[in-house]
Amino acid sequence: MKHPNFSISSEVNRALNFGSPIVALESTVITHGLPHPQNLQLARDMEKQVTSNGATPATVALLNGKIRIGLSDEELIRLAESDSTLKVSHRDFATAIVKKISGGTTVAGTMYAANMAGIAVFATGGIGGVHKESAFDISTDLRALANTPMIVVCAGAKAILDLPATLEYLETMGVPVAGYQTTEFPAFYSRESGLHVSVRLESPKEIAEFAKAHWNLGMRSAILVTNPIPESEAISKSEMEPIINQASAEAVKQGIHGQQLTPFLLSRISEITKGKSLKANLALLLNNAKLAAEISKEMNVKKKEWAI
Ligand code: PSU
Ligand code: MN
């Protein structure tokens, strides 16, 4: 792809040219989602997880005003250690470009950039959604899912959100929500939410078939693949609920809103659970990278062969 604001690494370019499996990875989780040094470790582990499952990792970020797809280890370090990065969603790209600054791309931001490059599979932790704290705080992630043809693997929406409202929004926007070997919508730290997905899919192959069927019909939305957190790291809904309510009440009291809300809630919950939620977050991220790599292998045809 030739675009003055994009720069794609040679590894990712090669994979794109050969039509070999690629998994896009986000970077807000590095810059705003996790504390240092776990963020750097996680960034490296996500890439390793993708590589060892047979796909090329493509971490997306903004570096000095350039949209980068595929980062070197030095660049991952720079991103993980900087404390002046921007959280980049759709509205923020031009800010980063004009001001020549660096930033971590959100789910929405990563979907935009990866789709521009022709990457079809993306792994993240949990998508953003409809917040509980204020009526109009709805993540751009939902809009991106509505109009970007991509498979997004996550562990559900973050439990800090209004999950029923988030699912309603996705339904309105025509986004299929698939459960990987489950009919229950997972809730990030917990495997259970009491809510249902729109379709249960059993294997990476079936997920790839589903995506191709959806897009061959002319649908332009993403397929949200929800992959429950591994049993060994899961925290039950009943254990999480009061903790989330406490963190949420603190956010309201301190007047925290907008882009700061998600990072605040994640780090408060990690403090309250004495790191247990952080451990769960890392486990589900790696679990998602593995499934995304497996799916990308099943999609191993050039995107233009199946996209309209
Ligand atoms: N999931 C995580 N940690 C994170 C995020 C998701 O486990 O830090 C990030 C994602 O990048 C997501 C963003 O796109 O939080 C949502 O932010 P907001 O609610 O402000 O749209
Ligand atoms: Mn928001």
End-to-end CA distance of the chain: 18
Rounded CA-CA distance 228/286 in Å is 12
Average pLDDT, integer, range 5-28: 97
- Both tokens of 215, joined, read 């897009």
Whose CA is closest to 25, among 103, 95, 118, 125? Answer: 125
- Cβ of 26 closer than 6 Å to ligand 1, yes or no, is yes
pLDDT tier, 1 (very low <50, low <70, confident <90, very high otherwise): confident
- Distance of CA 32 to CAs 79, 84, 130, 154, 192, Å? 10, 10, 19, 17, 26
The pLDDT assigned to 61 comes to: 98
Q: In this structure, how many other beta carbons lie within 10 angstroms of the beta carbon of residue 68?
A: 24
Average pLDDT, integer, range 51-60: 98
- Cβ of 59 closer than 6 Å to ligand 1, yes or no, is no
Expressed in angstroms and rounded, the spacing between residue 259 Cα and the centre of ligand 1 is 9
Q: Give yes or no for residue 307 having a pLDDT over 50.
A: no
- Both tokens of 151, joined, read 């498979």
Average pLDDT, integer, range 235-257: 94
Q: Give yes or no for residue 219 having a pLDDT over 90.
A: yes
Expressed in angstroms and rounded, the spacing between residue 153 Cα and the centre of ligand 1 is 14
Among 47, 87, 132, 158, the active-site one is 158
**303 given a catalytic annotation:** no
Expressed in angstroms and rounded, the spacing between residue 257 Cα and the centre of ligand 2 is 7
The pLDDT assigned to 159 comes to: 83
Residue 68 DSSP class: E
Q: Provide the CB-side half-sphere exposure for 140 (13 A, CA).
A: 16
Nearest alpha carbon, ligand 1 atom 20: 259
pLDDT tier, 301 (very low <50, low <70, confident <90, very high otherwise): low
Average pLDDT, integer, range 238-250: 94
Which residues lie at CB < 5 A from ion ligand 2?
137
Rounded CA-CA distance 258/184 in Å is 29
Average pLDDT, integer, range 11-15: 97
Give the tens place of pLDDT for each residue, 109-158. 999 999 999 999 999 999 999 998 777 899 999 999 999 999 999 999 98
The pLDDT assigned to 202 comes to: 98
pTM of the model: 0.95
**26 given a catalytic annotation:** yes
Give the tens place of pLDDT for each residue, 188-200. 999 999 999 999 9
Q: Pairing relation of β-strands 103-105 and 86-88?
A: parallel
- Distance of CA 117 to CAs 13, 24, 34, 111, 120, Å? 9, 10, 27, 10, 9
Expressed in angstroms and rounded, the spacing between residue 214 Cα and the centre of ligand 2 is 28
pLDDT tier, 255 (very low <50, low <70, confident <90, very high otherwise): very high
The pLDDT assigned to 240 comes to: 95
pLDDT tier, 26 (very low <50, low <70, confident <90, very high otherwise): very high
Percent of the chain at pLDDT > 70 equals 97
More confident residue, 20 or 307: 20
Letter string b/e over residues 221-231, b meaning 16 or more CB atoms within 10 A of that residue's CB? bbbbbbbbbee
Rounded CA-CA distance 95/308 in Å is 31
- Cβ of 277 closer than 6 Å to ligand 1, yes or no, is no
